[in-house]
Structure 1
């Protein structure tokens, strides 16, 4: 017992200088490199834990601030490491150097030269042509190669005016694909308690001639007043600034040439409320007394409608429209007891599907 105490007393003075040197090197390393993830080289020697812990206050040596979970004290000899020879910047301890080029188009690599040089139907080699045929046909349909049916009642309205109130409808629609369509149109108007004043139907073949314009050709038949048939050719589409245009030339079976130009613009005020100015111009190359038409500008209409979309497909509206007959047409209207200038206050509904 007395011999063991003497041996311990002799070993403590020998171990203490080495232990102090080791902890001094560790504290220098902690001040220099605050990264807890650094792993030191394996130790060649390590003192016995029992001898090191005697009389040492680890709290005063800064061990309480070290991340012991990420640094393995048992596997590292801090006293034997020469930290002056270590390149801390290479290990990410220093400030990062600025990159030579910032991320952007200059760093994007171009596609390889062989990109896109394969066969156009490469999937056939894997799955077979029969298996891919249905998928290919479905792809064509979903990208525009299919027929659509569309119908719109652009104006169906009640017209309040001096004298006898009236009504009006303006319908159109088509069936076809994005290039070829069959168009149908119908317009009519009249006064309550009197025969229909105007009633026409049109059947047209339409072909796209520009991204937003169709060339239309067909026939028109008037069913009110004198029975008249027309050959029709016209252009319909969407002009710049979102103006919807519908123009047509009519050649009757009697040789009378007339024309019509319609333009309207939908301006959204808020999400569900729109205002629509509209204008229509009718012209004639000659007098047609039996139809009450004079040469030149036969009539001119301007109007404005305020529309509320209950849903996109159903929208009631209110508005006002002014119609003038001019020149020889105004004279023919007065001779028939009609007013060549009429103001209509309208209420109606616009719908499509």
Structure 2
């Protein structure tokens, strides 16, 4: 339809309702009718003051985000109720009463609890022979015995340790007796405090003993002892050993022992400084956990002035020994 000749200047649009036009019908109408040419339409006199421009209905889902309540989204902080805030009140006291005290006399129950603790505390007695061996070396073959008796519990023990060696058919070369109290410092180390008596060689010596014994990292058994004799001489002794369990029953135990003297003691053949170094290795087969035969090798060397004193006495400062013995405890 050609509207080019139509005059729209006097048209009254006040009564025209444009607010509820159906977009779907308009689209269908446009498809069915030819395109209208508005290029020649005169809109100068149009009165739009009475036209209803109601907003079209929002497309579904559009504008929903603006009306949504995001306060419950994850991560949003919730208002804190003062009643729910953590307080700083002190915890209640630990109960120290006993239910039995309400039925029986408290004094009688206190004695009963004390007796129960004393009876259930771990306490035992043991005898341990770590070394009971035959030593074959150049010259006269010899022997060595080392072990300890102890009684007590996990925390405190009374210990009597001994170490002796010599050659067959001769008087013992050395005999050492240690009597000390062992106290657990922590699960791995014990403090030693007591006395040591050297019976051989002559002259005898008595020492005050202070030591630490325990299990170092990597399962290394260590022991360090400080000795001060009744004559004023000071000595140090340190030992380290490690059990290498090849199988459940076969164990190889290397060990190193070092003695140090703070001064010369010529009557004992001891020189100041490093005194004696001993390296050994023993391979044992545990028939049971408390009974194991073993074989091994040991190298012992006197150092410094101690080696010089040994040569003056006609002794060899270095000795290699082949070992065979038993390790047992009961």
TM-score range (shorter-chain normalised) is: 0.5 to 0.7
- The one-character-per-residue Cα deviations of 1:218-249 (angstroms, maximum 9, x if unpaired) are 11111112111111111111222221122111
Q: 1:188: which partner in 2?
A: 164
Cα 1:272–1:288, aligned 2, differ >3 Å: closer, same or farther?
Answer: same
Q: 3-state SS of the aligned residue for 1:207?
A: strand
Q: 1:151: which partner in 2?
A: 127
Cα 1:177–1:339, aligned 2, differ >3 Å: closer, same or farther?
Answer: same
TM-score normalised to structure 2 length: 0.66
Q: Which runs of 5+ in 2 are unaligned?
A: 1-90
**215, 223, 231: which one pairs with 2:191?**
215
User: How many corresponding residue pairs?
Assistant: 238
- The one-character-per-residue Cα deviations of 1:113-132 (angstroms, maximum 9, x if unpaired) are x9997665235547886679
- The one-character-per-residue Cα deviations of 1:253-303 (angstroms, maximum 9, x if unpaired) are 111111111111112111111110111000000111111111111010111
Displacement of 1:173: 2.8
Q: 1:54: which partner in 2?
A: none
Residues 1:323 and 2:308 aligned together: no
Q: 3-state SS of the aligned residue for 1:237?
A: strand
Q: 1:242: which partner in 2?
A: 219
Q: Which runs of 5+ in 1 are unaligned?
A: 1-113
**1:220–1:229 CA contact under 8 A, matched in 2:** yes
Question: What are the equivalent positions in structure 2 for 1:169-180 lying under 5 Å apart?
Answer: 169-180=145-156
Displacement of 1:180: 2.0
**2:100–2:109 CA contact under 8 A, matched in 1:** no
Name the larger-Rg structure: 2
> C-alpha distance in 1, partners of 2:110/2:185?
33
Q: 2:267: which partner in 1?
A: 290
Displacement of 1:184: 1.0
Q: 1:28: which partner in 2?
A: none
Q: Which one is further off, 324-333 or 178-187?
A: 178-187
Displacement of 1:315: 0.8
Q: Which has the higher helix share?
A: 1
Q: 3-state SS of the aligned residue for 1:163?
A: coil
Q: 3-state SS of the aligned residue for 1:210?
A: coil
Cα RMSD for the two superposed structures: 2.4
**1:232–1:250 CA contact under 8 A, matched in 2:** yes
